[in-house]
């Protein structure tokens, strides 16, 4: 870590910039900073020119949104970015050059070997190696690894097969509005007019999240393998994933079948997961208790359940994870990284 970043360890409060503050993740960031009582000295909320002049509430104070400019980071200690890859690519190095530590929620820097990719409960120590920018993982990766990593520590994961069930809020506020509109249109027997997605999302599922690659997988589907290798320090980790967008407003779910180096007993797996930080075990099928997005939404912890020995693997375990992708998959994880610093 560069010596000029050490001030983050000793200051009592910090000057914070939030880029993309008016978006779904940006608004969630402000809420997480407030309710976790992060020591904020001065807050600067930044967005595009069309949002400049609006106000956002923080600690009962109305803060005016400023247009993002190259000089927006003067005096900032920390800069949270949640405005998309193009904005991060241009402005994150500028913010870091101005002396801020950048915590970026886009995919721009995740595979850059000079940029730590961090989930604090898993590889928080990696944050110490930053050179001004730290990357937040993909939301589905974060939710999945919260349950997979403690099992890996105990049993040694080799590979997984997984399917995701991803809420529309992972796409942003326009997708939330589109689902609401299409539900209303369906009730009035009006034809749905998709704009955010290529097909209607209301009462439908789309096996299509992010752009397609030549392999037939999407970019989103490869993130669990590629990012998982970096976060878990496991270069041989393999993941075959199908990502599906579902008509849920908030919180992603993932069905995972994992193969391990060592035999897995259910008793040991339950013990591991019950003691894992940031994770709640919800698993009582007889009482209809299992993780669901409606229960995980708005909660910091992810939920894991439906544990069973995988009948397709000798050393296999199948399980189901739900987690709020705006929190552990984005804003909460970013603030936890800041808390580490």
Q: Which residues are catalytic?
A: 139, 252
Tokens at 253, concatenated: 């779910």
Q: Compute φ and ψ for 34, nearest 5 degrees.
A: -70, -50
DSSP one-letter string for 246-314: -S-SS-EEEEEEEEESS---HHHHHHHHHTSTTEEE--BGGGTB---HHHHTT-SSEEEEEEEE-TT-T
Which is nearest to 112 in space by CA: 87, 95, 129? 129
- Kind plus residue range of the DSSP H or E element containing 86: helix 85-97
User: Angle of helix 332-340 relative to helix 24-35, nearest 10 degrees?
Assistant: 50
Which single residue is written with the structure tokens 């208790």?
Answer: 289
Q: Which residues of 284-300 are buried (b: 16+ CB within 10 A; e: fewer)?
A: eeeeeebbbbeebbebb
CA distance 301 to 223: 21
Task: With CA atoms as reference, report the closest residue to 45 among 35, 55, 36, 32.
Answer: 55
Of 304, 298, 252, the residue nearest 276 (C-alpha): 304
Pairing of strands 61-64, 55-58: antiparallel
Q: Which of 45, 43, 137, 94 is nearest to 336 (CA)?
A: 137
From first CA to last CA, the distance across the chain in angstroms is 11
Give me 204's structure tokens: 């439908």
- Under 8 Å between Cβ of 145 and 325: no
């Amino acid at each position: 870590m560069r010596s000029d970043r050490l001030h983050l360890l000793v200051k009592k409060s910090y000057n914070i910039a939030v880029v993309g503050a008016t978006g779904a993740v940006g608004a969630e960031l402000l809420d997480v900073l407030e309710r976790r009582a992060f020591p904020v000295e001065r807050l600067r909320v930044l967005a595009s020119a069309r949002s400049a002049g609006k106000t956002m509430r923080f600690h009962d104070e109305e803060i005016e949104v400023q247009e993002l400019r190259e000089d927006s980071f003067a005096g900032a200690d920390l800069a949270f970015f949640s405005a998309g890859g193009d904005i991060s690519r241009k402005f994150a190095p500028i913010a870091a050059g101005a002396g801020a530590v950048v915590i970026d929620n886009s995919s721009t820097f995740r595979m850059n070997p000079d940029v730590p990719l961090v989930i604090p409960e898993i590889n928080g120590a990696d944050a110490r190696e930053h050179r001004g920018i730290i990357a937040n993982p993909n939301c589905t990766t974060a939710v999945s690894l919260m349950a997979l990593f403690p099992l890996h520590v105990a049993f040694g994961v080799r590979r997984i097969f997984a399917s995701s069930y991803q809420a529309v809020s992972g796409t942003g506020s326009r997708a939330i509005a589109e689902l609401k509109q299409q539900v209303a249109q369906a009730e009035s027997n009006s034809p749905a007019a998709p704009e955010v997605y290529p097909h209607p999302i209301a009462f439908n599922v789309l096996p299509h999240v992010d752009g397609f690659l030549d392999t037939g997988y999407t970019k989103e589907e490869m993130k669990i393998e590629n990012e998982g290798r970096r976060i878990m320090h496991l270069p041989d980790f393999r993941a075959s994933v199908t990502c599906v967008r579902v008509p849920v407003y908030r919180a992603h779910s993932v069905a995972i079948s994992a193969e391990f180096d060592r035999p897995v007993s259910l008793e040991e797996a339950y013990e591991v997961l019950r003691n894992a930080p940031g994770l709640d075990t919800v698993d009582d099928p007889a009482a209809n208790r299992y993780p669901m997005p409606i229960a995980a939404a708005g909660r910091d912890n992810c939920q894991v359940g439906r544990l069973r020995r995988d009948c397709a693997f000798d050393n296999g375990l199948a399980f189901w994870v739900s987690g709020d992708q705006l929190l552990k998959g984005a804003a909460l994880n970013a603030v936890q990284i800041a808390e580490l610093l």
